[in-house]
Structure 1
């Protein structure tokens, strides 16, 4: 099977020979068999997992390029009464480790009735939308929100000069280790 071993982005992109339309989850990959929108079968075989962005080109071994298109997904647009309220809402979303696309006037998240109920209870304005999803990258991963850590038993939030740590389980089921710098 032909392989795609490189992602080309930026102004020097080659002309695409085909496209592949993927939702956000399918765009975060390292190695996977794929079929382009017009039937080119290939193996995505990258050195590390990356989040493929709208417009990126996958370079196939035979010299062809497949352009990545972001598939619209069912999302929830979250808005606040003002900037401070939107910050409070974003804190609650982040506290639950949800993937989020952040704009000046709204936050896009995947639809989830439990989260929607929580946000409505906090006074958020909510609108169901269909749109490509481009969540923010995270502090623990170069290209994508730290999802790699969630596949393990937990993740570490280190603090400088920590000599003692306490393991905690938060209200959404993730284990965290927090160093508290006790001496």
Structure 2
């Protein structure tokens, strides 16, 4: 089996491709099937979201594979108004939603509750199939799962507040 162990900046040739959704591109240890059917394993350094277009190589550098971001079900909001775009990003960020940010565009994994929230702000949201390339974030290197329960905490696990006893 092919074992891809490192990221490389450039290569004279590419020997194959692997198409992965964002949930797979988060993982550093993963068994994958290359687009030509060959089996491979990812054994990469932790803490890095694989991006579409990145190159991976085996330990010897004799095999190079390009990562492709798979189209997946996403919600896309396009807006030319910078203020409205910032408001939408604020509300999605407040819910810790992994978010792809581009000029005039916000994209997140499809969620009808979030779609309705943005529509309530006066925005148009479209569900579509597209590659999802979220921001890594200031304190993390990959998106994390989220839920939309009404219980929400910003408590940091290492911060201890004084008791009032």
Shift of 1:130: 1.8
**Structure 2 match to 1:7:** 7
5+ long unaligned stretches in structure 2: none
* TM-score w.r.t. length of structure 2: 0.83
* Per-residue deviation, 1:117: 1.1
Mark the CA change 1:16 to 1:174 in structure 2 (over 3 Å): closer, same or farther: farther
Q: How far is 1:35 from its partner? A: 1.6
Q: CA deviation at 1:177?
A: 3.0
Q: Once the 2 structures are TM-superposed, how far is the Cα of residue 174 of structure 1 from its aligned partner? A: 4.4
Match of 1:86 in 2: 85
Q: 1:181 to 1:83 in 2, by over 3 A?
A: farther
Give the CA deviation at 1:80: 4.2
What number of residue pairs does the alignment pair up?
158
Tell me how far apart the structure 1 counterparts of residues 142 and 46 of structure 2 sit (CA, whole Å). 12
RMSD: 2.6
Higher RCO, Cα 8 Å, sep 6+: 2
Q: Is the 8 A contact 1:83 1:105 kept in 2?
A: yes
Residues 137/120 of structure 1: CA separation in 2 closer, same or farther (3 Å cut): same
Cα offset, 1:121, TM superposition: 1.2
Q: Is the 8 A contact 1:96 1:172 kept in 2?
A: no
Moved over 4 A (4+): 178-182
In structure 2, relative to structure 1, the CA distance for the partners of 1:42 and 1:174 (3 Å cut) is farther
TM-score, scaled relative to structure 1: 0.75
Q: Partner of 1:161 in structure 2? A: none
Q: Deviations over 1:137-178 (max 9, x none)?
A: 10112x324x3xx79xxxxxxxxxxxxxxxxxx945445239
Distance 1:172 1:139, change over 3 A: farther
Decide which of 45, 48, 51 is 1:50's aligned counterpart.
Answer: 48
Q: Which residue of 1 aligns with 2:132?
A: 133
Using the TM superposition, name which of 108-117 and 44-53 deviates more: 44-53
Corresponding residue of 1:99:
98
